[in-house]
Amino acid sequence: MELNNEFITNFGESLLNIWTNSLDKVTASQKEIENLLLQAFTTQKESLEKIAGGMDFIQEQQKKLIEEVRDYVKKNVETVSGEQTSQTFEKWNAQLDEINDRVQQLTSTPYKESLNLLNQSQEQFQQSYKNHIEQQKKFHVEALNQFKTAQKGFTDLFESNTKMAFNLFK
């Protein structure tokens, strides 16, 4: 009878080990996928930040270039045509600056806002995915506990049925 109890215990433990090993392999695969996806989120966020930074850099360089060209032309106009023409040139430049600022605002603001919305969406998706990961972990623990409980019930039932069967043959 002792050999039989050992067999039942080993059989029950074997089933539990097989099931938990399979679950661990699935969980390890999911963990690897999670890590890759989180890396992708990080890379995407860095890329969006670089794009936004690059756009700001381009605008600053454009402003510097316009200012350098304007100063150069103003000096040449002043040298060739005199102070009054230089003042007219300055007024014209002020109006041109206003137009340029409006055009830049019309073109760059939607682009920046699109990047901002994309970044916010990506952050929300990343947070949703992290929440999903936490739910998966909870499910894994609950499933393992339920399987252990079911396995214990199966082992107890198997043991009691085996004892009853042996008692029939005594």
pLDDT tens-digit profile, the chain (170 residues): 444 556 656 766 777 788 788 888 988 898 899 899 889 989 988 998 898 888 889 888 988 998 899 888 888 888 888 888 888 888 988 898 898 888 888 888 888 888 888 889 988 998 998 898 899 889 888 988 888 888 788 878 878 887 887 788 77
User: Residue 125 falls within a domain, yes or no?
Assistant: yes
Residue 142 within any structural domain of the chain: yes
Range of the domain at 97: 2-164
Segments in the chain forming alpha helices (H): 2-81, 83-169
Q: How many angstroms separate the CA atoms of 10 and 12, rounded? A: 5
DSSP 1: -
Does residue 170 lie in a domain region? no
In this structure, is residue 169 part of a structural domain? no
Tell whether 60 is covered by a domain.
yes
The total of structural domains in the chain comes to: 1
How far apart CA 76 and CA 86 sit, in angstroms, is 9
